[in-house]
Amino acid sequence: MKNEYDVIVVGAGPAGSMAAKFASENGVSVLMLEKDRDVGYPVRCGEAVSLAGIEEFVKPDPKWISAEITKFSFISPDKTEVIIPFEGKGVILERKIFDYELANLASQKGTEILTRAYVNGLLIENNSVCGVKYDFRGKQFQIKSKIVIGADGVESRVGRWGGLKTHSDFRDMESGIQITASNINVDQNTCYFYWGSEYAPQGYLWIFPKGNGLANIGLAITGDIGKKKSALSFLNDFMKNYFPNASVLSSVAGGIPFTPTLEKIVNPGIMLVGDAARQINPLSGGGIVSGMIGGSIAGKVAAHAIKNDDLHKIYDYEILWRERLGKRHEMFNRIKNGIYKFSDEKYDQIAHSLVELPDEKRTLGNVAKKAVINNPSLLIDVAKVFFK
């Protein structure tokens, strides 16, 4: 290890690894610190992504793909099922292996990686972040850098220490819980989404197949709902009623910020990527691809700023992110605010009208259209997404 690096990345998830990879690739020295013992573990994720989104960064490999998705199934509160063929291809990842692979890609480009390194403070000089303090196996260290990239997830404190407001309102934070269970007899190429107050009010419940009868079953609710009944309690009820014979192989909890990106994701010497920056699709809660995109832009911008000896250039990242995805996420957030507050009757009504459509007309675009009829103010936003 060196005494000083150009860039220090805090957190080795997909966003951190992409930031590290792109910074290294563009010719600057990078150290990536991970607080956990293993990169990629524990997995706090439903693991569903679009293949096209991943392919921009890494060649698909069967060793981290556990199922291929060709259909969505939406289940309304009165159990009406609407099946929609998926345009394009989706996959369920094996994140443990996938995250490892991404960190390895960064490492191959020259990034140094240290696990079990818990960052517990920032070095700040002249109002600019210039390194980190960290705990490694019970000993305290510090190391300097020109730029710190915070990829420390939903619980990001690096951002706060760097003067960026990273906490989310509890009404926007979805509290999630997920189990990986066996003996789940569902179609192995379909992602299931359950809507309504029985399953997950102000959120949704999902079943994502992982092959061989395994599946991720999870749900997310907002803090407003959690006041009365926890996510854990909703999931226990669901499993008891629908899959009483399942065995649970793994169980995780996690927070999913269903919000647009933070207003500020850059301050002098510091940039935020991934969940730390709230780079999550606020309609679906998906954050893998958006985090990778955010990380890749940040990594490139950081390297250019350092090589041009003009650290102020890191502010370009905010603009580039907004153009690439930030604006879209704001629109998704408006749609979410409409859809997630529908009553059970409204979800049922939409499902009934969709089931009557012939197969070829049952597309995601039409689902959105039907939802819009029930809330006309969403029309403009949805139109922008689906009918451009």
Partner 1 sequence: MLKYNYTKEIVLLLIEILPDKCDFCGCCVGVCPEDAIELKEAEIKIIEELCTNCSKCVWSCPIEVLKFNRNGIEAAEL
227 binds partner 1 (CB under 8 A): yes
Stretch that binds partner 1, among 10-18, 58-66, 223-231, 370-378 (CB under 8 A): 223-231
Distance CA 234, CA 228 (A): 11
Which amino acid does the sequence have at 277? A
Contact 115, 36 (CB under 8 A): yes
d(CA 134, CA 116): 10
Are 269 and 162 within 8 A, CB to CB?
A: yes
Rounded-to-10 torsion of CA 193, 236, 48, 87: -10
- Residue 62 buriedness (CB in 10 A; 0-12 / 13-18 / 19+): exposed
- 250 forms part of the interface with partner 1 (CB under 8 A): no
Q: According to the binding rule CB under 8 A, does residue 156 interact with partner 1? A: yes
CB neighbour burial string for 2-23, b if at least 16 within 10 angstroms, e if fewer:
eeebbbbbbbbbbbbbbbbbbb
- Closest CB 42 distance from partner 1, rounded Å: 8
3-state SS class at 384: helix
Complex with partner 1: residue 188 or 259, whichever CB lies closer: 259
If the CB atoms of residues 149 and 219 are measured against partner 1, the closer one turns out to be: 219
d(C-alpha 50, C-alpha 91), whole Å: 6
- Strands (E) located in the chain: 4-10, 30-34, 48-50, 65-75, 81-93, 112-115, 117-125, 128-136, 139-150, 173-182, 190-194, 204-211, 214-222, 247-257, 266-267, 270-272
Note whether 328 binds partner 1 by CB under 8 A.
Answer: no
Among 135, 187, 316, 330, binds partner 1 (CB under 8 A): 135
Query: Does residue 118 bind partner 1 (CB under 8 A)?
Result: yes
* 288 within 8 A of 9, measured Cβ to Cβ: no
Shortest distance, CB of residue 256 to partner 1, whole angstroms?
Answer: 8
Q: Pick between residue 71 and residue 167 the one whose CB is nearest to partner 1.
A: 167
Of residues 86, 14, 4, 85, the one with CA closest to residue 44 = 14
| C-alpha 212: how far from chain center | 25
Identity of residue 226: G
Nearest residue (CB) to partner 1, 70 versus 251: 251
Q: Does 176 bind partner 1 (CB under 8 A)?
A: yes
Smaller CB distance to partner 1: residue 4 or 224? 224
111 scored as a contact of partner 1 (CB under 8 A): no
Q: How far is the CB of 241 from partner 1 (least distance, A)?
A: 19
Stretch that binds partner 1, among 121-129, 159-167, 262-270, 324-332 (CB under 8 A): 159-167
Site string (29-68) toward partner 1, x via CB under 8 A: ------xxx----x-x------------------------
Query: If binding is defined by CB under 8 A, does position 367 make contact with partner 1?
Result: no
Pick one of 13, 14, 257, 291: the residue that binds partner 1 (CB under 8 A).
Answer: 257
Using rule CB under 8 A, residue 173 touches partner 1: yes
Which of 116, 133, 144, 352 is close enough to bind partner 1 by CB under 8 A?
A: 116
Q: Does 226 bind partner 1 (CB under 8 A)?
A: yes
Positions touching partner 1 (CB under 8 A) are 35-37, 42, 44, 116, 118, 135, 153-157, 160, 166-170, 173, 175-177, 223-224, 226-227, 230-233, 251-255, 257
